[in-house]
Amino acid sequence: MSSKTKIVVLRMKEIIYTAIFVGLGILLITLFLVMFRPKKDTVPTSGDSVDYVPGVYSSAITLNSQDINVEVTVDSKKITSVTLVPLSEAVTTMYPLMQPAMDNLSPQILKNQSTKNISYPSESRYTSGVLLKAVDQALTKAQKTD
């Protein structure tokens, strides 16, 4: 009889260990789902209706000691223009990708009415990222607060 008892105890241990590992697996999967789920964006996508306070809003980018302003002009419902002001000779000489990157981004921003889903060449990804961040900051200033 004692040999049967040992077999039952060993099988019970296996069931307990399996249940613990299954519980840990479920906990790990739940943790991954919570950590890596998409976050809600603060800047609206093109499908969302956004109300702006009409005007010209700017956001400054400081490169070394030079300030470059990204100006965004909006009316009550849409973005009407995105430009770099003032772009001096020193800036265009030291940072030759600034103006071409903005020339590439501006029509896409006006078409999408957002900075989401914008494509840009890989050689100007950092410049484009800085410019898009500045446009986002200007759009945040332009949004109506309820």
3 state DSSP class of 36: coil
Residue type, 83: T
Q: CA-to-CA distance for 131 and 127, rounded, in angstroms? A: 6
Residue type, 103: D
pLDDT in tens, the chain (146 residues): 555 666 555 578 888 999 999 999 999 999 999 988 877 655 544 445 678 889 999 998 888 888 888 999 998 888 999 998 877 787 778 888 888 888 999 999 999 888 888 888 888 889 889 999 999 999 999 887 76
Instruction: Collect all residues with Cβ–Cβ distance below 8 Å to 142 and sequence separation of at least 6.
Output: 52, 53, 55, 57, 72, 74
- Structure confidence by residue, pLDDT tens digits, 49-84: 678 889 999 998 888 888 888 999 998 888 999 998
Overall residue count recorded for the chain in this entry? 146
Torsions phi, psi for 52 (to 5 deg): -115, 155
Residue 76's DSSP bridge partners are none
pTM of the model as a whole: 0.64
